[in-house]
């Protein structure tokens, strides 16, 4: 797939129930199988402690995709993939443990604040588990003019733990 309307997007993957590594690998396969979409880069696999949540450690990664899907259509596809992998969203539990979590971080240069989708992802700059793998596949990346690597170092200096495990 390649067309003039392709947009580069970045998606964070996480899981802390079941076989998290297998869930993330299966999700990458599902993302690559989406219409008008292809995975163009994937970070290493990371293990991180839950942030503002309880439960076991998370498996995390970030992938880059090129897609001709709209941001809303891509978000809908991410939600369908989560559901297919058994994602449950308990009422009243914002950060409950999960089989699979897919967050649309960036969609080209789109900036948007809406009830179902805010871009760039509103909390990504405070999360080492997003910034470290994102900087791995987008080493020159910047958010609001600040290098991803610098943002990641700030999070790590605050005690957020991120351990690289190997290839996704």
Tens-digit pLDDT string for the chain (168 aa): 455 579 999 999 999 988 999 999 999 999 999 999 999 999 999 999 887 777 889 999 999 999 999 999 999 999 999 989 886 665 555 666 778 999 999 999 999 999 999 999 999 999 999 999 999 999 999 999 999 999 999 999 999 999 999 999
- Please give the pLDDT value at position 54: 72
- Please give the pLDDT value at position 166: 95
Alpha carbons 117 and 26: distance in angstroms, whole number:
24
Cis preceding-peptide flag for 166 (omega within 30 of 0): no
Please give the full DSSP string across 86-142, using - where no structure is assigned: T----TT-TT---S-EEEEEEETT--EE-SS-EES-TTGGG-HHHHHHHHHH-TT-E
Question: pTM for this structure?
Answer: 0.93
- Please give the pLDDT value at position 1: 46
Continuous segment of H or E residues that includes residue 43: none
Alpha carbons 64 and 30: distance in angstroms, whole number:
13
- CA–chain centroid gap for 155, Å, is 17
- Please give the pLDDT value at position 90: 54
Q: 7-167, which class in CATH?
A: alpha beta
């Amino acid at each position: 797939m390649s067309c003039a309307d392709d947009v580069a997007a970045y998606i964070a993957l996480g899981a802390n129930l079941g076989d998290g590594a297998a869930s993330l690998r299966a999700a990458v396969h599902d993302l690559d199988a989406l219409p008008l979409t292809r995975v163009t880069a994937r970070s290493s696999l990371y293990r991180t402690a839950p942030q503002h949540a309880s439960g076991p450690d998370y498996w995390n990664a970030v992938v880059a995709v090129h897609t001709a899907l709209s941001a809303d259509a891509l978000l809908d596809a991410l939600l369908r993939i989560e559901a297919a992998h058994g994602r449950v969203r308990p009422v009243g539990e914002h950060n409950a443990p999960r089989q699979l979590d897919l967050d649309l971080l960036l969609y080209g240069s789109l900036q948007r604040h809406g009830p179902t989708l805010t871009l760039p992802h509103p909390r990504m700059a405070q999360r080492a588990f997003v910034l470290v793998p994102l900087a791995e596949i987008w080493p020159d990346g910047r958010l609001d003019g600040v290098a991803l690597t610098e943002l990641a170092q700030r999070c790590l200096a605050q005690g957020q733990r991120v351990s690289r495990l190997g290839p996704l």
